[in-house]
Amino acid sequence: MSDLGHVLVLAGGLSYEREVSLRSGRRVSEVLRATGIDVEARDTDASLVPSILADPPDAVFVTLHGGAGEDGAIRSVLELLNVPYVGADPDACRVAFDKPTAKAVVRSVGLRTPESVTLPKETFHDLGATVVLGRIVEHLGLPLFVKPARGGSALGASIVRTAEELPAAMVGCFAYGDTALIERYVDGVEVAVSVVDVGNGPVALPAVEIVPDEGVYDYAARYTAGHTEFFAPARLSAQAAAACAETAVTAHTALGLRDISRTDLIVDATGTPYFLEVNVAPGMTETSLLPMAAEAAGQDLGDLCHALLRNAASRSHA
C-alpha cells in the first residue's frame, strides 16, 4: 500500500484542451491506483473547493492543460487551501505559459530560440494587416511558424511557407488567442525533453523524436494513434542528445519550474537545439511524450507519478 493516504487528480477544465486533459487524468489515475494509492479524480467545478475543505488530499496531481491548468490560476487556489500539488508554483506558471516571455527568459541565460515577433490582434488590425505582415516577412524571412502566444496542443498553430499563406495563418491563430507569436522556422529534428525532479534535483529523461506523417505535429498528429512516429530515445548523436538534455534542464531551472516539465526543441543540422516552448503540465495520454520518455529511461510511469506526489506532499511538512 502507498504511504500517501489519498490523492486528488485534477482533469478536465474548460480550455480547448479539455478532452486531452480528461485522457491525461484517466491515465494518471490508473497508473497511480496500480501503485496502491487511493485516487480521486475530479473536474474543476463549483464542488471542488468544498470537497477539498471537507477532506483535504495528501497531494494533488494537476493534469489540466491550457488555461487555468497552466497559467497558475488553479494552483493559486490550491495554495489558498494549503494543499500540496505536483508542479510549478503560480508565478512560474504565468511566466512559462506566456511563450514570448518564456523565450525572453531562456534567451537571457544563453539558450538559443528562434527569432520572433509577438503581435496582438488589436495591433494587427489597427496598423493595417497587409503592411505589418509584409514587414514581418521582410524581417524574419520564410518559412515562418505562427502560433498563439498562450495555449498548447498546437491549436491555432501552422507553418507558413509563402507570404500569401500568412494572413490565413494569423486568422487561424487568433481563433485560439488574442496574441500571435510569429517565429522564424528552424528546419531540423523536432524533439521533446521531459524533466523530472523527485527531490534530488531536475533530471532530463531521454529526448523523444517526433515524426508526424503529414509533416506537421498538429492536434490530430498529437492525439490520434498512428498519425505520428516516435523514437524514444531520439535518433540524435550523443553530443546533440546531451545538448538537448542540458537545454531542457537549464530552461526548467531558469523559469523557476519544479517537479515536472517538458521542453519542446528543434535540433538543426549542426546538432544545435533551439528552444520553442515549455509545458508545465505535460500530457500523460497514451500518445503523450513524457510517458514515452519515462519508458525509454526504464521508469515505471506509476512509480514516477507516485514519487512526484510524495515529493510534493513532503513540501507541506517542511
Q: Which of 21, 29, 158, 288 is the catalytic position?
A: 288
State how far the Cα of 318 lies from the Cα of 167, in Å rounded to an integer: 53
Handedness of CA 243, 245, 247, 250 (dihedral sign): negative
Secondary structure, 3-state, 38-100:
EEEEECCCCCHHHHHHHCCCCEEEECCCCHHHCCCHHHHHHHHCCCCEECCCHHHHHHHHCHH
In the numeric block, the cell 520564410 is attached to 142
List the Cα angle 136/264/191 in 5-degree steps: 110
Question: Is 17 annotated as catalytic?
Answer: yes
Q: Which of 17, 70, 183, 190 is the catalytic position?
A: 17
How is residue 3 written as a grid cell?
504511504
- List Cα–Cα distances, 294 to 4, 228, 251, 262, in angstroms: 22, 19, 19, 12
Instruction: Report the relative pairing of strands 38-42 and 6-10 from DSSP bridges.
Output: parallel
Q: Which of 153, 158, 194, 261 is the catalytic position?
A: 153
* Packing angle, helices 99-108 and 90-97, rounded to 10: 100
Question: Is 108 annotated as catalytic?
Answer: no
How is residue 206 written as a grid cell?
531521454
Question: Is 153 annotated as catalytic?
Answer: yes
Strand partners, 279: 262
How is residue 207 written as a grid cell?
529526448
- List Cα–Cα distances, 90 to 34, 94, 256, 283, in angstroms: 30, 6, 10, 19
Q: What is the dihedral of CA 131, 134, 135, 138, to 10 degrees?
A: -160
Residue numbers in the known binding site for Mg(2+) are: 264, 277, 279
- List Cα–Cα distances, 6 to 33, 224, 297, in angstroms: 10, 32, 28
Residues involved in catalysis: 17, 153, 288
